[in-house]
Structure 1
Amino acid sequence: MRLFEVILIATLLAAAVAQMTKSAAHWSRPLTVFGVLVATWHVIHEGTHWQMFPVLAGLILLVAWQLITASRRASRYPAMRKPVAIGVALLSITTFGLLLIVPMFTLPKPTGTYPVGTRIIYLKDSSRMEDRAEKPGTSRELVVQLWYPADPSNNHLAAYETTSETILITSYRSVLWTNSREDAPVASQGGPFPVLLFNHGWAGRRTQDTFLTEDLASHGYVVASIDHTYNSSRVALPGDRIIEDINGGDALDTNLHSASEIIDTWNKELNKWVADEVFVLNTLQNDNLDPKSPWYGRLDTQRAGALGHSFGGAAAIQVCSVDARIQSAINMDGWTFGDLRQRAANQSTMFLYGVGNGAPPPDPATLGTAARAEAELDATDHKVVDTSLRQFGGYKVSISNTSHMDFTDHPLVSPWRRWTQPSHISPGRIETIVRAYALAFFDQTIRERKPTLLESGTSSPFREVKIEHWSPESKAASVETALKPTLFR
């Protein structure tokens, strides 16, 4: 809950109690006036949302009651005093409960030295036709959000999602502020900045890892997060056109499809995502050469990287096979497929896995139909990744007490995680670990730095982490496990 939301709820509860207590009844009116001032500040500066509607309704009820003169209230409506107070209190408590169930979560502050700016751009790739558009011959359209190092700015903080990208239940995110300034000027010092391409998960959204994209930008990277149209949860295109995800879960249902059928579906979509990545990087390369562009001379597209979560991680790895500008890529807890044999030896990869992932899978023959398909996918992934790491080298980082969605903003969004997943490490802890390894990996592979976190022979400062460092053509991996016993929570 945000500051003025808490103050408003507390103020109305206090006003309700005062109204029900004869000795404190004289406080009801000044508390109501104060509540109006707090609500006004909240609406203008914090931005209101549906969880706040009950307490705002309670405020209106209280104001309406206070507008009736004291003598008239005493003579005509004496029986209404306590019901009005109880109603105001219940409405306030309702808002408190809604904010616990669907919280206005707070993104962690970026750890780098640069302020962060963000900008949303619309792109059309006229060289490709959209195979899922209602109108044949429609060009492939993309929405891309850029997070970048910025000069200090008084521009408004950017919303977590735009209004048109939300539905009723998620509409609060349009007034949930990030740490980034809208359209802030690109940092005038320290560039040109390497470009990183970010891919969301299957049916995800470009903002799903804002905790990470903002942090990378604060350390001097320009992160281009791509909404892969028709496989993103909700994309707002020009002309008030809203494109929903139309893939559906059935295409990946292991009860309905075999492992080979699912892989065929994935590979078709993977080629489209990889083409999106190349197109975005080409666009930014052209902008870097355009004197009229705000990105003129500020981008280094020849030292680029890619990262993604789940299916987006597979797309990040795969783009290495088709674009030599990609120096390195990170797959966050996703299966890896496609042809990894085409990437060059100087294109390093990192695979971040949660608990239960990255380990040798069970024998598919011992499992039921759905479990067998998933085990076959695990086995294929395990073989592809280890073969690629043996041939080209790279890192495999396993983080204990984490699950698939812990590599996104989801732990912040879901307050019930502490009860449904009590053994999992805290959101702050997983954010710290993922940020640290992603930054160290790109600093090493793109900027040619030597971060101590990845130095061979040193143990991780995180006892939840096991690192496997593979050298090219090596038959074995050096396994480094953390030794420090104290958890940071």
Structure 2
Amino acid sequence: MTRRTLAPIVALALSVAACGSSGDADETAADAATTAPEVTETAATEARASTTTAPDTLLPGTTAPSTNAVPATTSPATTAPSATSAPTADAAEPFTPVDDGPYDVGVQTITLDDDPSRPLTVDVWFPLDASIETATLTPAQYTMLPGVYYESPLAFAATPDATSADGPFPLVVYSHGSGGLRYIHSAYTEALASHGYVVAAPDHTGNTAVERITGGGDDPAVISLDRPNDVRRVIDAMTDPADVTAGSAAANVDPEQIVVTGHSFGGFTTIAMAIGYTNDLGDFAADDRVDAIVPLAPAVSSNSFSDDALATIDVPMMVVVGTDDVTTPVDPNVTRLWDNATLSSPSYRVELVAGEHQSFTDLCAYLDDVPSLPDIPPVVVETIEVMSVEGCSEGDMTPARVAELLDTYVLAFLDEVLAGGPTVLEATGTPPDDVNVVVR
């Protein structure tokens, strides 16, 4: 299915650094994820050309960029899982991917103003009531500026009559990457909602595309504390049936089933929700309402979380990453997370072979259309082309395949940990050659 009907998207084109690009993987989590988008196509192409085969103990097909792909990046080669995390091959059935779920999807934009100094704009995707005639609804438009938007092929704009189906539904909170947008991975958030989840995603004020475009933005140390607090505020609003701000979806959220997921700096945010975070400016305490976490290509440097801190993760976890990611490479980011989070159970490490950092955004959906739009400044086209190197180039896993694998594995994981369903491998079958699954 074609995921996008594009309208002019100048603002988005200027912001597609969403979630960072080619940062020092051993910086603080904030710095690693807020690296400016001045990665060149040459550097990323060289990184891809320089990949070396990972050790034989890895699952088949895993490769990773060489250490000279990006200066000062620590060992961006995929390392083998620890002996205690040996690959599991219990699944005997062929791989079974999922499609869009049984629900039509509504989406509404709300504003949380409980903290006047930091209002949050939040998109909420939810399963629509089955009695609603979708032919009478308008496709959702994700708007950056007046007249600058794109339409969703799956979600519909919420109206007073377009209300949520009766729940209760689990709540998933999505955290975008640095310089991103709340809907930068709407293909993912819409898919979850179509399978019976309420999904809420805030714009992290001070760390969005707006600040990237204008050259502003908060200090990384401030952002590192603000981000998990943003997610906490979203959970507060979405689990309060009396909060009319959150709309009909909040009344149908199950407050006992909460998952946090996020990409890059949003992956850092996801982990912080489970174990807390401390820097020189203050502390954020872990939120014990979180039942499971799904970090995507997370920024997990040695300066963000200590090994001891990562060892305290005790909720189920699925970490998903592309083997060719040079912004938050598997090693040290996922390697540190996986090797230390031994209390997490069940725990899954899913590696998409030839996936890259921007594979976990909607960026590739815009690439072919932006240059043909009228009156597009050359800098916009150049930015799109440069950023698209990390995920939208020849040889990269295709966007459709990324979506198919990501949705399949994440939904199976959520069903296992929230609904007591079969294990991920039992539900999905034998992993195909282009994905490596490690189970603990």
Q: Say if 2:404 is the partner of 1:432.
A: yes
Q: Judge conservation of contact 1:193–1:298 (CA < 8 Å) in 2.
A: yes
Cross-structure match for 1:84:
none
**5+ residue gaps, structure 2:** 11-97, 276-285, 369-384
Q: Judge conservation of contact 2:189–2:199 (CA < 8 Å) in 1.
A: yes
Cross-structure match for 2:143:
161
The within-5 A match list for 1:115-134 is: 115-126=104-115
Cross-structure match for 2:194:
218
| Greater helix proportion | 1
Q: Judge conservation of contact 2:123–2:200 (CA < 8 Å) in 1.
A: yes
Residue 112 of structure 1 deviates from its aligned partner by 0.3
Q: Say if 2:318 is the partner of 1:350.
A: yes
Q: Kindly report the root-mean-square deviation, in angstroms, between the aligned alpha carbons of the 2 structures.
A: 3.6
* C-alpha distance in structure 2 between counterparts of 1:201 and 1:459, whole Å: 31
- Sequence identity of aligned pairs in percent? 23
Cross-structure match for 2:30:
none
Q: Say if 2:433 is the partner of 1:463.
A: yes
Q: Judge conservation of contact 1:355–1:401 (CA < 8 Å) in 2.
A: yes
The within-5 A match list for 1:303-342 is: 303-321=257-275, 322-336=286-300, 337-338=304-305, 340-341=309-310
Cα-to-partner distance string for 1:111-155 (whole Å, 9 max, x where unaligned): 1000100000011233xxxxxxxxxxx611110000000123322
Q: Say if 2:354 is the partner of 1:401.
A: yes
Q: Say if 2:242 is the partner of 1:278.
A: no
Change (3 A) 1:50 1:193: closer
Q: Judge conservation of contact 1:229–1:245 (CA < 8 Å) in 2.
A: no
Q: Judge conservation of contact 2:99–2:404 (CA < 8 Å) in 1.
A: no
Residue 455 of structure 1 deviates from its aligned partner by 3.2
Residue 421 of structure 1 deviates from its aligned partner by 2.0
Q: Judge conservation of contact 1:195–1:224 (CA < 8 Å) in 2.
A: yes
Cross-structure match for 2:46:
none
Q: Which has the higher contact order (CA 8 A, sep 6+)?
A: 2
Cross-structure match for 1:68:
none
The within-5 A match list for 1:82-231 is: 111-126=100-115, 139-151=117-129, 152=132, 153=134, 154-164=136-146, 171=148, 174-184=149-159, 185-189=162-166, 191-231=167-207
Change (3 A) 1:342 1:139: farther
Change (3 A) 1:162 1:179: farther
Q: Judge conservation of contact 2:312–2:343 (CA < 8 Å) in 1.
A: no
Cα-to-partner distance string for 1:213-265 (whole Å, 9 max, x where unaligned): 00000000000011001101028xxxxxx9956249xx8xxxxxxxxxxxxx4
Change (3 A) 1:245 1:465: farther
1:214 aligned counterpart, secondary structure: helix
* C-alpha distance in structure 1 between counterparts of 2:288 and 2:175, whole Å: 18
Q: Judge conservation of contact 1:307–1:329 (CA < 8 Å) in 2.
A: yes
Q: Which has the larger radius of gyration?
A: 1
The total of aligned residue pairs comes to 310
* C-alpha distance in structure 1 between counterparts of 2:305 and 2:227, whole Å: 12
Change (3 A) 1:193 1:270: same
Q: Which of residues 410, 415, 427 in structure 1 aligns to 2:363? A: 410
Give the structure-2-normalised TM-score.
0.62
* C-alpha distance in structure 2 between counterparts of 1:280 and 1:232, whole Å: 17
Residue 203 of structure 1 deviates from its aligned partner by 0.7
AA of the residue aligned to 1:186: T
